[in-house]
Amino acid sequence: MEKQSTNDRTKKGSGGYSNITIKKETAIRFRSYSKKFGKSHSEVLDGMVCYFKENNLDPFGEGTKIILDNIKKLERQMMKKFDRLIAIIKNMEKTSIRPTYEMMLILYEAYVRDGRKPKREPVKIREERMDFLEPRNIVPKVEHERILQDFESYKKHCNGMLQNVEKVEPMMGKPYLRLNMDIGQFEKLKHHLR
């Protein structure tokens, strides 16, 4: 069978074989190394040569330095990403976790305070008033009617607000009520109540 040089190959794995003379100790080491991959000696050697070529590595010179520099560069990039993650977690803690905890603590304290029985104040007996003969403040009829009209409009406004209240049942915690009102109406209400 004729020997073919590696330059004459057209496909990987096609072609004949060639002999290379190497030391016996090196051949033993290479055979034991190539057994780890479960491939032929030619495939392992070809893979090693491709790896060195693609990564521009020189096994006798700066090859290990390049690899170490790449590892250090990746390590620096990973540390920067870890710092970003830590910053995101700290921001979440400040903006959402801590305020939620504070609100829950306030609600819990209010619940505990409301859960206690209120102390009954002693009943004060009023002294008999003798001023019933004195004239009292009387509201004129016109002003009384105006107050009643204001009260009716306030009552309508309150009923309108109650129509916009909906019950929300969250997955955690007690159900609560939510008022659906746009910002303009809210500002108008605030101004009106001043």
The tens place of each residue's pLDDT in the chain, 194 residues long, gives 344 444 444 445 556 788 888 899 999 998 888 888 888 888 998 998 898 888 777 777 676 777 788 889 999 999 999 999 999 888 888 888 888 888 888 888 877 776 665 566 776 766 666 665 565 667 677 888 888 898 888 888 888 888 888 888 888 888 888 888 888 888 887 787 77
pLDDT, tens digit (0-9, with 9 covering 90-100), for 123-137: 676 666 666 556 566
For the stretch 151-193, pLDDT in tens is 888 888 888 888 888 888 888 888 888 888 888 888 887 787 7
**Closest Cα partner for 177 from 185, 168, 189?**
168
pLDDT at site 77: 93
Task: Kindly calculate the radius of gyration of the chain based on its CA atoms and give it in whole angstroms.
Answer: 44
Q: Domain boundaries in the chain?
A: 18-54, 62-115, 141-168+178-183
Q: What is the pLDDT of residue 80?
A: 92
User: What is the model's pLDDT at position 126?
Assistant: 64
pLDDT for res 33: 87
pLDDT computed for residue 81 by the predictor = 92
Q: What is the pLDDT of residue 188?
A: 81
What pTM value is reported for the model? 0.30
pLDDT at 127: 65
